[in-house]
A and B are shown apart, each in its own frame.
Chain A
Amino acid sequence: MNEDEQNRMKRLLQQALLPVADAEPARDLWPDVLRTLDAEPASPPWYDLALAGGLVALTAFFPAAIPVFLYFL
Chain B
Amino acid sequence: MEHEPNGVLSRFQQGDLEAFESLFRLHQRALHGWILRIVRNPTAAEDVTVETFWRIYRAHARFNPARGFEGWARQIASHAALDWLRAARPERERSPQIIEDLPAPSAADAAVTAEIRRKTAQAFGRLPPKLRIAATLAVVEELPHKEVAEALGVSVAAVKLRVFRALRMLRKDLEQQGITP
A residues lining the B interface (CB < 8 Å): 1, 5-6, 8-27, 29-30, 32-33, 36-37, 41, 72-73
Contact = CB atoms under 8 A, between A and B. Distances in A.
Closest 6 CB pairs of A and B: A16-B120, A9-B167, A16-B117, A36-B54, A16-B121, A32-B50
Contacts of B135: 13
A23 B42 contact: yes
Interface of B: 21, 24-25, 28-29, 32-33, 36-37, 40, 42, 45-46, 49-51, 53-54, 57-58, 102-103, 105, 108-109, 112, 116-118, 120-121, 124, 128, 130, 135-136, 139-142, 164, 167-168, 170-171, 181
Chain B contact surface mostly: helix
B142 A15 contact: no
B51 A36 contact: yes
A64 B49 CA distance: 38
A21 B42 CA distance: 11
Contact of A20 (B46, B53, B141, B181): B141
Contacts of A17: 40, 102, 120-121, 124, 136, 140
Contacts of A73: 130
B112 A21 contact: no
Contacts of B28: 25, 29-30
Interface centre among A10, A22, A33 (most CB of B within 10 A): A33
B170 A26 contact: no
B33 A22 contact: yes
A20 B24 contact: no
